[in-house]
Chains A and B, each alone.
Chain A
Amino acid sequence: MSLYYVQKFLYHLNRDPALQERYAADRRGALAGYELTGEEVEALVDVDIGLLFHLGVNGQILMHFAALHRIEWSDYLQRMRDGITRHGPVREGVYAMVGYEGTEAHAARLGQSGTPGEPGEGGS
């Protein structure tokens, strides 16, 4: 578990066009120098948005990684939801502070209903 280095790689990738070129040419090679587990390497090579969110990557970092791969916004959100369904609550990081149980639990706690972001839902 090295969430710090997963996020550090993505932080560098998001702001460095040269690293983006290296990553495009050789994904595994671009990860050299970051202390990552095998699971983390595969998630970054496979662009597994759901797993990366489950591992605890901050969405403010992850959304740029999704945009780099031209993943459309609604698809990006769904991939994270699927990741929580498949892998369970977020393991570490800011979303794990009080446990990330998923959108339905959050809706219930706030007296709301539905998945946010869809027309007529989650808006109030």
Chain B
Amino acid sequence: MPLVYAGVCSHAPGITGRAERADPEVRDRFYEALDGMRERLEAARPDALIVVAAEHFANFFMNNMPAFALGMAEGYDGPIEDPDWLGIDKFRAPGNRDLSGRIIGEVMQTIDVAYAEEWLFDHGIAVPLHFLTPHFDVPIIPANINCQGPPLAPLHRAWAFGEALRRAADAAPERIAIIGTGGISHWPATPDSGRINEPWDREFLDRWCRNDREALCGYDDAEVYARAGQGGFEIRTFIAVSAAAEGTPGAVHFYAPIPIFAVGCTVADYQLT
């Protein structure tokens, strides 16, 4: 049946791992916005949640790097990071191998997606799930777009991946939700960690809310790197969710730079009809 929810949020490890070092007022408003996202997701009563992430060398490396990948397992362990460092205990999130297989089969009609029957969740998925499905009671279908090791898939292919996920979700009888996770501008884990280009972020979010394919796919990677850092490559996850929302307008529920989290913290979703 038609996709029941589409949204995006930040996934930086500092959100949970360095929580005590953030301005409490801004941090708590961000956490409240994530709570609101969880409530809207729960109201959509999803049978499964596709998480379009930009994993960070937890599963995929440059020996065999897929541009796009989907998980096909009955469960997923995480976080790969030290639990004390990340601030999230070890967990096993449920999967749905059968549903993953059907989604992958449909996506393959237009995208040569890799699949993985093993997948360790890193902060890219663990942090969003910590807030959105804290009881691990919704089966997860992890999706990955390589945003870390260039060459990266062109943005219009990230859009096409999102279109394929929407088509596959609509074709399944289950109620399926999708979220994208990533940063907008940021320089994570580098000497520039904490730098955030807020004007660039707000301009991107304006394009995202208008769900303007041409504008969203109009960025050039060299320009993204210069203005938004290597973390800016993760706009691919947001763009895939835009495509999955099929032109509906979006709303930003929260945006604020939180330097110790190393990202402009974002909560946004689309008003699916």
Contact = CB atoms under 8 A, between A and B. Distances in A.
Interface of A: 4, 7-8, 11, 14-15, 53, 58-64, 67-68, 73, 77, 80-81, 84, 94-95, 97-98, 102-103, 106-107, 109-110, 112, 115-118, 121-124
Contacts of A109: 226
B222 A8 contact: no
Contacts of B198: 123-124
Given A117-B262, A118-B259, 12 more contacts: A58-B148, A60-B57, A64-B81, A68-B82, A77-B193, A94-B148, A94-B149, A95-B190, A106-B187, A116-B187, A116-B192, A117-B193
Contacts of B148: 58, 60, 94
A112 B148 CA distance: 25
Contacts, number: 105
Nearest to A120: B259
Given A58-B57, A60-B57, A94-B148, A122 B226 contact: no
B257 interface: yes
B141 interface: no
Nearest to A102: B191
Contacts of B251: none
Chain B interface, >50% SS class: loop
Contacts of B57: 7, 11, 14, 58, 60-61
Interface in B181-201: 187-198
Size category of the binding interface on chain B: 35 or more
A38 to B, nearest CB: 23
B116 interface: no
A121 B259 CA distance: 8
B61 A8 contact: yes
B194 A116 contact: yes
B153 interface: no
Most A Cβ at <10 Å: residue of B14, B57, B227, B262: B57
Interface string B106-150: 000000000000001000000000000000000000000000111
A79 B261 CA distance: 19
Nearest to B227: A110
Contact of A77 (B81, B191, B197, B222): B191
B260 to A, nearest CB: 7
A7 B148 CA distance: 13
Contact of B195 (A11, A63, A94, A116): A116
B1 interface: no
